[in-house]
Every structure is written in C-alpha cells, then in structure tokens.
C-alpha cells in the first residue's frame, strides 16, 4: 500500500517505520509526514508521542482522534522546508493537508516548527 503521506513509497517502508520507532523520522519533514499519516490512521498515541512535551496536551488526544476519524483525508502537499535536516536541531515545514469535512474540501495550511532533542524530532506547534 502506498503511504498516506504522498511519498510514493510503501507505507511499510515510510511512515510505518516512524510509527513503530520515532527515531526513524530522521528529518523534520519525515516527522511531519509521519504525523500526517498518523492523523489519517487516527493514531492518537503517535500524535501525542511525537508532540514536544512543552506543548503537548494529553487531554486533547481523545478529541484529536475523534476529529481525525470524522473527516476523509485526501492528500498532503509539502510546500517548503527550512533546516530540519539530520544535522539540525530545529526546522520548519510548510504544508497543506486536504480533507473532506461535511461534504466539502477543507485545507489545513500550516508552517510547523520542529525541534530535535537527542535522537528524536518533535512537533512544537505553529512557527512564528
């Protein structure tokens, strides 16, 4: 099966690796793509695990999973990355995530901030 993130790789050779072991997301973009796939799969555990502790809100997990299941995910477009390589400790990824909600197409357009601590990339939130 082709990965949800749009990489054209098989899911098992792409986001599933990160879903099983976060250190497999070697760049900020790979983590962002794996988070998109986790939204498609409504994998609340991974979404919480990959969210930086300083901005993570565990109580939101239930509502995130409920919302993820209530929409039909269409595709992900990565528009731009800044830093976020294996050798960086921070980076940003700008993307558009398309989904159907109540019979109409909607889009999340976001510039996300990521930090790397130890050997793990984490989503921090919207970039300033």
**Pairing assessment for the beta strands 104-117 and 120-126 based on DSSP bridges:** antiparallel
Query: pLDDT tens digits, residue range 45-75?
Result: 999 999 998 888 777 889 999 999 999 999 9
pLDDT at 108 exceeding the cut of 80: yes
Contact yes or no for 30/9 (Cβ under 8 A): no
What is the token pair recorded at 115? 């930090």
Per-residue pLDDT, 56:
81
| pTM to 2 decimal places | 0.95
Report the distance separating Cα 106 and Cα 126, nearest Å: 19
């Amino acid at each position: 099966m082709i990965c949800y993130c749009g990489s054209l790789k098989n899911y098992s050779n792409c986001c599933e690796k990160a879903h099983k072991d976060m250190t497999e997301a070697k760049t900020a973009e790979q983590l962002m793509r794996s988070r998109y796939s986790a939204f498609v799969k409504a994998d609340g555990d991974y979404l919480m695990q990959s969210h930086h502790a300083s901005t993570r809100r565990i109580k939101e997990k239930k509502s995130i999973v409920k919302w993820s299941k209530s929409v039909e995910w269409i595709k992900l477009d990565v528009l731009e990355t800044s830093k976020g390589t294996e050798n960086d400790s921070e980076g940003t990824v700008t993307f558009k995530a398309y989904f159907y909600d109540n019979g109409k197409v909607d889009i999340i357009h976001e510039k996300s901030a990521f930090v790397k601590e130890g050997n793990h990339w984490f989503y921090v939130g919207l970039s300033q």
